[in-house]
Chains A and B, each alone.
Chain A
Amino acid sequence: MDLSFHIKENKPPGTFHQLQLPPIHHLCQNVSISYKLLAVEGLPFRYNENTTGVSVVQRLDREERERYELIAKCTVREGSKEMQVEVPFLVNVLDEDDSAPFLPNGTSTTDAVVEFNRKEGTVLATLTVCDADTTPIFPIESSRKKYTGTISTTDPWISETFRVDHIFHEIYFSPNGSQVRGTLHEYKLMLNKNISVTENRSFQLDVLVNDTEFHGPERSVMLHFNVSILPVSIQFPNVTYQFTVNRNAQRFAHIGKICIENCMKFCGVNITYRLLSPNASCYAVGILQGREDKFGSLYVNDSSVLLRPECKEIQYTVVASDKQSKKHAKTQLTITLEGTIIKKEEDCPECCAVNKHRAECEECGGVGVLTGKCQWRQGSGKGITTNYSTCTPSIRTCPDGTCDVIESKDPSVCPQDCTNGNIIGGHERGAHGIKSGHGICYCFPRQNCYCEKDDIKEPPCDDMC
């Protein structure tokens, strides 16, 4: 059995507990019971043998020490016999908000640069404030209200454009050897909305941190963020784009990607790509862009054009424009058609993924093929694996675990990556489509996909079928 007590810090000295002598003490004449408090040397506690009262002799400071582990010893004497029992006598010091916030390494200033990442929610910089007091995480609302962090500005643009996020966690201080809990408060300066590419300004943004329940001086600390918002340009690298396309390519064949300078670094900037073509009769190529994509994807939009001998080299102007700032950039794109036209195989499915075997796969074409024929990807064949065998219009892009913007245009392009229908047989489902499969995976667009070993014989179809 442990004796455990809480004493609020900063309380004046006094008795906080009375050790009781059991009633039998008076009845048995030759029995004596006495108590002692051990391990009190140097500690602010006293035990009065006469009154059996336990008292604290000075105000306790939790930030100095928050826990005292004493021992209460009881001695029972009966004649010459003596019995002793010791039990832990724990004193926990409860916290009061009696410490002011302070800067852990004296830094109240930091830089916050906005360049390519201009998206709402981006954390630009973080500053920390310490407090020797504890901050309970439960219930969290009251702690958040207690320790505030507000942007102090009169500029409505700043209040609209930035916000401060506050999180805190427990840290330990070690004044004179014992470990005491305190709090590290983190204040993150964040974008509260997307910033235009043309925005270009620098200023100091101040955040007032206030320990609302501390009543002493210096209850608040001012944090300074040196904010610099750099303008970014919308321009193509000084090259023109050239791609060759095989005349046997089918609709939705991937041609390539178009990207302005630093496009992969941009965030929160909505760049859209368009093609302008002077030569309307040879208009074979289109450009698409996924919701999260930062580039444009070129694809074959009309495969019949590829078969026209008069269309050899097709010129386009590519326009990239930013919706918010209306800024745009242009560059040249040349598509060269190559290859001799091959006869399309009869009786082939429209979708490569339907083919279950290499032979029928490589004999047939299908939606999205680059050179007129589907490609067979031979897998490792061991268990359920991402490297499953399958028939695809292009091994480079399908299956790759991503249902990209071109594949999502038509269920027949790459059902392996895009299906949300049933997948039958040993498999693991990805965010879309098949993440891994057993043996050969084949799909019937808008119906099921199957992953199964090839050695489950299905009687071959005789010529009557």
Chain B
Amino acid sequence: LLCRAGGLLALPRDCIAAEKICLMDPACNATYQALENCSLDKTRFLPLSLDARTRCRDAKLDLRSSPLLHCKCHRRMRRQKHCLRIYWTVHSSFTHGYFNLETSPYEDPANEEPWKIDYNKLAALVSGSHLAGDSANPCLKATHFCSLNKKCVHLRTYYASSCTKGAESGGTCDQHKCHKRLRQFFEKVPEDFTKRLLFCPCQDELCGERRRKTIVPECSFQDSIKPNCLLLLDSCIKDHICKSRLADFQQNCQPAGMSPDGCSQHNHAACLQAYMGMIGTAMTPNYVGNSSTEVSLWCTCKNSGNQQEECDQIRSMFISNKCLKNTIQSQMHLSQATLEGQE
């Protein structure tokens, strides 16, 4: 399929391109249609019959030579949702457990961030201007840097205004729009700004409260009653974006008891990116309070019945994840060092 003009073309990395190639080939096209029926979304978690499972496994084997099998998606690509749907069509029938989502659909984070901001130049701009004053609040200082970057200040307003609209006069906010714009902020604004806004090192509760409020918790996840974590996971799995972010988080923030940095992937940057990727989904994590750096999901394991363990497992992905804890701590130390370097 891929040998043309005598040379072996590079496999198209992104699934949309891979799908186009597959659909042009009758055999691959038929196999791909078969896999679409296997995708769990369609069967609504109904346990597949034995021959259906065999058919699905054979369909995947037939895809061995197709670019679909190894295609991936990019966090900042256009039509990300379409790409992720293709990915999970190909990978859905082989999700081991209801909970462990196999590998992340996202391209390796290392070569993801195209731009690098000269943060120190910005820092000099802020501390040079009389405006910033001698604020000791690192989270406030991070907003000063953000306000110097057009995309940061624009997209920060974009999510904050839609996450607070309706709520101020006692009504309810539009959580779907709020989530969408939060995701846009964390996808489109350079990480130099988003990391410093979200992982600013606080010494007091006022700063801690500003950090906790950064993603507008009253709209992005909080509700009058805490849902059961199983319900949160169920909503997430049904949405391609959330499912993808969760797979990315599970892969990149996977704790490893023996590893010195607590992570199996040893890539704090990838873990931070994966954590920020969860913000603006059904499983939006946040700081539990204004005086600790502990993060958690907004859910409880009360009333879990026989699924108490699964529920605890979901909660502990965030609340007692050594890899995530170390990753956040190291980012905060980095921010602290940068701040001290500027003063």
Closest beta carbon of chain B to A94's beta carbon, Å: 5
User: Given the interface contacts A137-B228, A138-B231, A431-B170, does A95 sit within 8 Å of B306 by beta carbon?
Assistant: yes
Contact of A6 among B170, B171, B309 (CB under 8 A): B309
The reply to whether A138 and B234 contact each other, CB–CB distance below 8 Å, is yes
The reply to whether A136 and B309 contact each other, CB–CB distance below 8 Å, is no
Contact of A92 among B169, B228, B308 (CB under 8 A): B308
Residues of B within 8 A of A1 (CB): 257
The reply to whether B257 and A170 contact each other, CB–CB distance below 8 Å, is no
Residues of A within 8 A of B303 (CB): 134-138, 168-170, 183
User: Given the interface contacts A428-B168, A431-B169, does A134 sit within 8 Å of B302 by beta carbon?
Assistant: no
| Binary per-residue interface labels of chain B (231-242) against chain A in the complex, 1 for a CB within 8 Å, 0 otherwise | 100100000000
CB of B290 within 8 Å of the partner chain: no
Closest beta carbon of chain B to A233's beta carbon, Å: 36
Look across to chain B and name the residue whose beta carbon is closest to the beta carbon of A96: B306
The reply to whether A136 and B169 contact each other, CB–CB distance below 8 Å, is no
The reply to whether B168 and A136 contact each other, CB–CB distance below 8 Å, is no
CB of A144 within 8 Å of the partner chain: no
Contact of A136 among B171, B234, B257, B306 (CB under 8 A): B306
Residues of A within 8 A of B270 (CB): none
Considering the chains assembled together, what is the distance between the CA atoms of A1 and B307 in angstroms? 20
CB of B297 within 8 Å of the partner chain: no
Interface residues on chain A, size class: 20 to 34
Considering the chains assembled together, what is the distance between the CA atoms of A134 and B308 in angstroms? 10
User: Given the interface contacts A431-B170, A435-B169, does A169 sit within 8 Å of B308 by beta carbon?
Assistant: no
- CB within 8 Å: A-B pair count: 51
CB of B133 within 8 Å of the partner chain: no
| Binary per-residue interface labels of chain A (80-94) against chain B in the complex, 1 for a CB within 8 Å, 0 otherwise | 000000000000101
The reply to whether B231 and A134 contact each other, CB–CB distance below 8 Å, is no
Considering the chains assembled together, what is the distance between the CA atoms of A429 and B170 in angstroms? 10
CB of A216 within 8 Å of the partner chain: no
Look across to chain B and name the residue whose beta carbon is closest to the beta carbon of A431: B169
Closest beta carbon of chain A to B168's beta carbon, Å: 6
The reply to whether A137 and B302 contact each other, CB–CB distance below 8 Å, is yes
| Binary per-residue interface labels of chain B (216-239) against chain A in the complex, 1 for a CB within 8 Å, 0 otherwise | 000000000000101100100000
The reply to whether B169 and A430 contact each other, CB–CB distance below 8 Å, is yes
Residues of B within 8 A of A92 (CB): 308-309
Considering the chains assembled together, what is the distance between the CA atoms of A422 and B231 in angstroms? 40
CB of B305 within 8 Å of the partner chain: yes
Residues of A within 8 A of B231 (CB): 137-138
CB of B147 within 8 Å of the partner chain: no
Closest beta carbon of chain B to A313's beta carbon, Å: 44
Considering the chains assembled together, what is the distance between the CA atoms of A4 and B168 in angstroms? 48
Central interface residue in A4, A6, A137, A430, by most chain B CB within 10 Å? A137
Enumerate B297-342 residues with CB–CB distance to A below 8 Å.
302-309
| Binary per-residue interface labels of chain A (384-410) against chain B in the complex, 1 for a CB within 8 Å, 0 otherwise | 000000000000000000000000000
Closest beta carbon of chain B to A9's beta carbon, Å: 10
The reply to whether A134 and B169 contact each other, CB–CB distance below 8 Å, is no
Considering the chains assembled together, what is the distance between the CA atoms of A430 and B169 in angstroms? 5
Considering the chains assembled together, what is the distance between the CA atoms of A168 and B228 in angstroms? 13
Considering the chains assembled together, what is the distance between the CA atoms of A139 and B303 in angstroms? 11
| Binary per-residue interface labels of chain B (3-20) against chain A in the complex, 1 for a CB within 8 Å, 0 otherwise | 000000000000000000
Closest beta carbon of chain B to A399's beta carbon, Å: 15
Closest beta carbon of chain A to B26's beta carbon, Å: 41
Closest beta carbon of chain B to A135's beta carbon, Å: 6
The reply to whether A135 and B308 contact each other, CB–CB distance below 8 Å, is no
| Binary per-residue interface labels of chain A (433-449) against chain B in the complex, 1 for a CB within 8 Å, 0 otherwise | 00100000000000000
Residues of B within 8 A of A181 (CB): 308
Residues of B within 8 A of A95 (CB): 305-306
The reply to whether A136 and B302 contact each other, CB–CB distance below 8 Å, is no
Considering the chains assembled together, what is the distance between the CA atoms of A103 and B306 in angstroms? 24
User: Given the interface contacts A431-B170, A435-B169, does A138 sit within 8 Å of B228 by beta carbon?
Assistant: yes
| Binary per-residue interface labels of chain A (181-199) against chain B in the complex, 1 for a CB within 8 Å, 0 otherwise | 1010000000000000000
Residues of A within 8 A of B171 (CB): 431
Contact of B305 among A6, A135, A428 (CB under 8 A): A135
Considering the chains assembled together, what is the distance between the CA atoms of A168 and B302 in angstroms? 11
Residues of A within 8 A of B169 (CB): 429-432, 435
Contact of B302 among A169, A428, A430, A431 (CB under 8 A): A169
Closest beta carbon of chain A to B161's beta carbon, Å: 13
Enumerate A130-187 residues with CB–CB distance to B below 8 Å.
134-139, 168-170, 181, 183
The reply to whether B306 and A94 contact each other, CB–CB distance below 8 Å, is yes
Residues of B within 8 A of A430 (CB): 169-170
Closest beta carbon of chain A to B249's beta carbon, Å: 21
Central interface residue in A1, A138, A168, A169, by most chain B CB within 10 Å? A138
Look across to chain A and name the residue whose beta carbon is closest to the beta carbon of B170: A431
Considering the chains assembled together, what is the distance between the CA atoms of A435 and B169 in angstroms? 9
Considering the chains assembled together, what is the distance between the CA atoms of A371 and B170 in angstroms? 35
Look across to chain A and name the residue whose beta carbon is closest to the beta carbon of B231: A138
| Binary per-residue interface labels of chain B (171-185) against chain A in the complex, 1 for a CB within 8 Å, 0 otherwise | 100000000000000
A binding-site residues for B, Cβ under 8 Å: 1, 4, 6, 92, 94-95, 134-139, 168-170, 181, 183, 428-432, 435
Q: Could you jot down 14 A-B contacts, CB within 8 Å?
A: A6-B306, A134-B305, A134-B306, A136-B304, A136-B306, A137-B231, A138-B230, A138-B303, A138-B304, A139-B234, A181-B308, A183-B303, A429-B169, A430-B169
Sorted from nearest, which 8 A-B pairs have the closest CB atoms? A136-B305, A137-B303, A138-B230, A134-B305, A170-B302, A94-B306, A138-B228, A170-B303
